[in-house]
């Protein structure tokens, strides 16, 4: 039998702490490691415990781990989903036990989630496209995005299309990287940069995808400049921006996102109602219902603003970026 601090408190006769379950798609990315560390620290500051389950990029494992969290009788569950429409049945079971479910960063569709919290990804796409337009990089663009089953990619495209509407820009093609597999995005980038016409700009679904495109260009046409952008402000992307290899990234207030998610999870675990704590009045339709949503605002990061936005916020240090 697994023993935890929660179990020990029960056996000693003390009132058990609240316990929050966090089901995360993967910890292979710098981004998710950062989110999780901030989330866990905040939950502990609020006096609750955390049980983390890492699905390792597997839909089946994530479903099993969510069942495990339900059986552990956690007081609330936060989910960073591997696949947006793969959790309907297990979330129905969790909600039937009276356990609230927060969809974190990626919208879970066709499921009875309690609320959704994320950076406004449609706004991210809008910022990306507007920045590209302002740089006058050319009108022949290409998109290398994450998986098509990640709802954020739909929102990202909506933002891009909104910004270029009535412009002369043509998005020649869009590639969806299955499973966020960066070997696949690299292979696609190789095809593009070794083709008959290299695009003027490539918009990527995140900074790791942008990194794979930068590598393809370095390997096959190092003398060619292509405007490249991503999102997340990963350390490698910030370094590439300083070196002139990546045009810009989009900074997302990860610290605030993870801390607010922890705050909401603990409040819901205490029995607070969603409508009493999410007061923005904003909702998003996830195919099941209109879901209360909390949007955080992103910021463009360029070589000129990297110190004020990224270093100034404490997201990365000056030494890490400029080493």
Residue 159 and residue 69 share a domain:
no
Indicate the SS3 state at residue 145: strand
Q: How many domains does the chain have?
A: 2
Confidence of residue 31 (pLDDT cuts 50, 70, 90): confident
For 284-294, the pLDDT digits (tens) are 999 999 999 99
Instruction: Specify the pLDDT at position 15.
Output: 61
Instruction: Report the CATH number at residue 287.
Output: 3.40.50.2300
Residue 36 and residue 132 share a domain:
no
Residue 209 and residue 183 share a domain:
yes
Cβ proximity of 271 and 247 under 8 Å: no
Q: What is the DSSP letter of 248?
A: B
Residue range(s) defining the domain that contains residue 264: 5-113+254-296
- Exposed (0-12), middle (13-18) or buried (19+): which is 140, by Cβ within 10 Å? middle
Residue 162 and residue 86 share a domain:
no
Q: What's the pTM value of the predicted model, to 2 decimals? A: 0.86
Beta strands 140-145; 283-285: pairing state: unpaired
For 122-174, the pLDDT digits (tens) are 999 999 999 999 999 999 999 999 999 889 999 999 999 999 999 999 999 99
Residue 174 and residue 105 share a domain:
no
Residue with tokens 């569950």: 77
Angle at 152 between CA 205 and CA 318, to 5 degrees: 50
Q: Residue 151, Cβ neighbours under 10 Å: how many?
A: 22
Instruction: Specify the pLDDT at position 118.
Output: 95
Residue 96 and residue 9 share a domain:
yes
Q: Which residues contact 263 (CB under 8 A, 6 or more apart)?
A: 42, 46
> Which tokens hold the place of 139?
């009108």
Residue 221 and residue 140 share a domain:
yes
Residue 292 backbone phi and psi in degrees, to 5: -55, 135
Instruction: Specify the pLDDT at position 275.
Output: 92
């Amino acid at each position: 039998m697994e023993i935890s601090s929660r179990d020990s408190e029960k056996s000693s006769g003390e009132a058990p702490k609240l316990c929050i379950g966090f089901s995360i798609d993967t910890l292979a990315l710098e981004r998710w490691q950062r989110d999780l560390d901030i989330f866990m620290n905040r939950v502990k500051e609020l006096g609750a415990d955390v049980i983390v389950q890492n699905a390792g990029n597997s839909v089946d494992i994530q479903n099993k781990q969510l069942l495990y969290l339900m059986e552990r009788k956690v007081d609330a569950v936060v989910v960073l989903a591997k696949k947006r429409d793969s959790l309907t049945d297990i979330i129905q079971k969790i909600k039937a036990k009276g356990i609230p479910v927060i969809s974190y960063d990626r919208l879970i569709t066709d499921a009875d989630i309690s609320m959704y919290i994320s950076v406004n990804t449609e706004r991210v796409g809008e910022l990306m496209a507007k920045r590209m337009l302002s740089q006058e990089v050319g009108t022949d663009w290409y998109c290398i995005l994450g998986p098509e089953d990640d709802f954020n990619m739909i929102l990202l495209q909506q933002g891009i299309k909104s910004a270029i509407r009535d412009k002369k820009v043509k998005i020649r093609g869009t590639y969806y990287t299955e499973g966020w597999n960066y070997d696949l995005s690299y292979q696609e980038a190789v095809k593009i940069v070794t083709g008959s016409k290299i695009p003027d700009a490539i918009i990527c679904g995140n900074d790791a995808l942008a990194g794979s495109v930068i590598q393809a260009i370095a390997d096959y046409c190092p003398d060619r400049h292509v405007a490249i952008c991503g999102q997340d402000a990963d350390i490698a992307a910030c370094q590439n921006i300083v070196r002139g290899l990546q045009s810009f990234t989009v900074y997302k207030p990860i610290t605030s996102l993870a801390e607010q998610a922890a705050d909401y999870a603990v409040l819901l675990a205490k029995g607070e109602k969603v409508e009493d704590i999410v007061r923005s009045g904003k909702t998003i339709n996830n195919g099941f219902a209109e879901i209360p949503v909390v949007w955080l605002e992103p910021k463009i990061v360029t070589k000129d603003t990297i110190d004020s936005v990224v270093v100034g916020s404490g997201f990365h240090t000056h030494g890490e970026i400029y080493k």
